[in-house]
């Protein structure tokens, strides 16, 4: 039989909290393959988690089971859910972190996780990654029926997150910062198609960020500018990215997630 894959995405950092989850999963299904997406989502940052999941899940083999634990509401009344989609299965807290990915993959069934039979015996108030999400993933990887896990939910009953789209008006693209990666690269919500359509043939683009204006080159490689110099590039998210060759753009421009980006076209 093919080995089943469980992929983990959390904001736990490299801590024993992740190690325990691995142990719990392997105790239930020793034949599963556990893969880390990353554990460095900024703490409690559901939107960042949703963005990273949306941009990674599709690179995994079909039938991968994703376990997402970015869970500031642990122990509260927020639901725990499992979502069967066209190609993948997603498990996590019902706080919107799964939403963009399940919509893109195509929702088939959503279940509220309630059956204590598939959880650890003692459920703590602070660590459902260990007590609920990891064991559920382990049992699902062994092939239990999802309908045994709990009752069905409608899509309208779960939490949503959507990413703002850029606005185009008055010869301007008004976007925002979606994500700043670990290198300080600034990923905007302005996708490659918009740039191709509206900035065609331009080698330099006029950009306003944190209330300052810049004229930045649109390049094909970070190394097209000198080290330490700013640039624009279509990045691996297929988004317009503001970067510094070999440097940290978020420090250079003193920006943070959600900040406005204005491009003149």
Residues that bind a copy of itself (CB under 8 A): 2-3, 5, 7, 9, 12-20, 22-24, 26-27, 30-31, 33-40, 43-44, 52, 55-57, 59-61, 64, 72-76, 122, 124-127, 130-131, 181-183, 220-224, 233-236, 238, 241, 246
Rounded to a whole number of angstroms, the minimum distance from the CB of residue 6 to a copy of itself is 11
**Distance of alpha carbon 8 from alpha carbon 21, whole angstroms:** 9
Q: If we measure between CA atoms, which residue out of 5, 77, 17 comes closest to residue 43?
A: 17
Query: DSSP letter at 12?
Result: -
**Under 8 Å CB-to-CB from 173, ≥6 apart: which residues?**
166, 167, 190, 194, 198, 261, 262, 263, 265
Rounded to a whole number of angstroms, the minimum distance from the CB of residue 63 to a copy of itself is 10
Question: In this complex, which beta carbon is closest to a copy of itself, that of residue 9 or of residue 207?
Answer: 9
Question: In this complex, which beta carbon is closest to a copy of itself, that of residue 5 or of residue 98?
Answer: 5
**Distance of alpha carbon 8 from alpha carbon 20, whole angstroms:** 12
Rounded to a whole number of angstroms, the minimum distance from the CB of residue 131 to a copy of itself is 8
Rounded to a whole number of angstroms, the minimum distance from the CB of residue 116 to a copy of itself is 17
Question: In this complex, which beta carbon is closest to a copy of itself, that of residue 151 or of residue 236?
Answer: 236
The continuous run of DSSP H or E covering 99 comes out as: helix 99-105
Question: In this complex, which beta carbon is closest to a copy of itself, that of residue 143 or of residue 170?
Answer: 143
Question: In this complex, which beta carbon is closest to a copy of itself, that of residue 5 or of residue 158?
Answer: 5
- Sign for the CA dihedral angle at 196, 197, 199, 200 comes to positive
Rounded to a whole number of angstroms, the minimum distance from the CB of residue 215 to a copy of itself is 21
Q: If we measure between CA atoms, which residue out of 58, 136, 128 comes closest to residue 93?
A: 128
């Amino acid at each position: 039989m093919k080995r089943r894959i469980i992929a983990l995405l959390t904001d736990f950092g490299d801590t024993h909290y992740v190690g325990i989850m691995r142990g719990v999963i392997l105790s239930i299904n020793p034949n599963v393959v556990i893969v880390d997406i990353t554990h460095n989502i900024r703490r409690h940052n559901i939107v960042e988690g949703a963005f990273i999941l949306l941009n990674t899940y599709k690179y995994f083999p079909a039938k991968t089971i994703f376990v997402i634990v970015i869970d500031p509401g642990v122990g509260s009344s927020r639901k725990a859910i499992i979502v069967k989609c066209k190609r993948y299965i997603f498990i996590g807290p019902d706080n919107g972190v799964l939403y963009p990915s399940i919509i893109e993959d195509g929702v088939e069934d959503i279940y509220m996780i309630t059956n204590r039979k598939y959880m650890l015996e003692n459920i703590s108030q602070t660590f459902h990654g260990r007590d609920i999400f990891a064991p559920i993933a382990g049992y699902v990887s062994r092939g239990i029926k999802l309908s045994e896990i709990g009752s069905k939910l409608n899509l309208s009953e779960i939490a949503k997150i959507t990413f703002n789209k850029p606005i185009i008006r008055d010869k301007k693209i008004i976007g925002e910062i979606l994500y700043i990666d670990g290198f300080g690269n600034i990923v905007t919500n302005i996708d490659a198609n918009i740039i191709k359509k509206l900035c065609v043939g331009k080698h330099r683009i006029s950009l306003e960020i944190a209330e300052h204006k810049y004229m930045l080159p649109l390049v094909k490689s970070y190394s097209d500018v000198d080290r330490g110099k700013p640039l624009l590039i279509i990045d691996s998210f297929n988004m317009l990215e503001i970067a510094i060759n070999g440097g940290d753009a978020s420090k250079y421009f003193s920006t943070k997630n959600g900040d406005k980006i204005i491009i003149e076209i």
